[in-house]
């Protein structure tokens, strides 16, 4: 992991401002989603890029019963009979 030499303080509501240079480098804009997770003892932020739960495609996405599915997989599953 690479440090960028910028330190930010957490405010009283637990917020941290991402530096402009970092947002520009990562192509993060206002209202973009950011995933937050732990890896070992580190907090990791990653730009959220939704993708299909079956094929990992990020094109033609739909919400289907609480999951994200692409058009191709949704059409493919409609041929299955239980």
Q: Where are the beta strands (DSSP E) in 1-82?
A: 34-39, 42-47, 61-64, 67-70
For 4-28, how does the pLDDT look when each residue is reduced to its tens digit (9 = 90+)? 678 899 999 999 999 998 899 989 9
pLDDT of residue 6: 83
Domains of the chain: 9-48 (2.10.260.10), 50-82 (no CATH)
pLDDT of residue 80: 59
Is it the case that residue 82 has pLDDT exceeding 80? no
Residue 49: CB atoms within 10 A of its CB come to: 10
Query: What is the average pLDDT value for the chain, to the nearest integer?
Result: 87
Q: Are 4 and 19 in contact (CB under 8 A)?
A: yes
């Amino acid at each position: 992991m690479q440090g960028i030499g910028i330190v930010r303080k957490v405010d009283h509501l637990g917020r941290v401002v991402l530096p402009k240079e970092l947002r520009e480098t990562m192509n993060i804009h206002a209202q973009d989603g950011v995933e937050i997770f732990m890896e070992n003892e580190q907090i990791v932020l990653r730009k959220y890029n939704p993708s299909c739960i079956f094929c990992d495609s990020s094109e033609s996405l739909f919400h289907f019963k609480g999951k994200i599915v692409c058009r191709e997989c949704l059409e493919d599953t409609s041929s299955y009979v239980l």
